[in-house]
Amino acid sequence: MLQKSRKLPGKTRALLQSLWIGAPSSAGIRTSQADMTQNTQITGGCQCGVVRYSVETLGRSSVCHCRMCQRAFGAFYAPLVIVHGLEWTKEQPSYFASSNISRRGFCNQCGTPLSLENVDDDQIEIATGTLDDPERAPPTVQINHRYACSFSDGIGALPEPDKDTIDGNDAWNATVISNQKP
């Protein structure tokens, strides 16, 4: 089990939170609590269904471009959302201490990245894609953008494939029987 590290000095802690974990809403980043915390249950979990969770409310949703997040997610960036009132409702995740100030929760059965937890406070971020309804947490800010892969800003502008390729992909996808849960 990861032990808590020593408390960081206030200025260092605030800097790390604003750069790495993400700036608080008071720093001018708009967090739409009304849009992200409807009165329906907020749940999610890993792809194999072994680890499940529920949360009371969602906070700021972001994408982080730091190299640790890139490696943890095996992707160009990590979509994360701050959660409040997290309860692991099925199995607990396993953890990897990715730095001296954080640990990352994951399913030890299927490998799904689930959480990023700051060990010096109670802030927990959940991998947005693990929400049963990720549409509830659209990103509102990019964190550590200076570490972004040089091509990541242009991903949304990439062309879609031609109609034959789309039809081929649709036909292939129709044959897939997912083992993901729920």
pLDDT digits (tens, 9 = 90+) for 36-46: 445 589 999 99
Q: Which residues of 42-65 are buried (b: 16+ CB within 10 A; e: fewer)?
A: bbbbbbebbbbbbbeebbbbbbbb
Asked whether the predicted pLDDT for residue 9 surpasses 70, the reply is no
pLDDT of residue 177: 94
Q: Which residues of 13-41 are buried (b: 16+ CB within 10 A; e: fewer)?
A: beeebeebbbbbeeeeeebeeeebbeeee
pLDDT of residue 96: 97
Which candidate, 63, 58, 71, places its Cα nearest to that of 133?
A: 58
- Region 16-29: mean pLDDT is 38
pLDDT digits (tens, 9 = 90+) for 133-144: 999 999 999 999
pLDDT digits (tens, 9 = 90+) for 64-88: 999 999 999 999 999 999 999 999 9
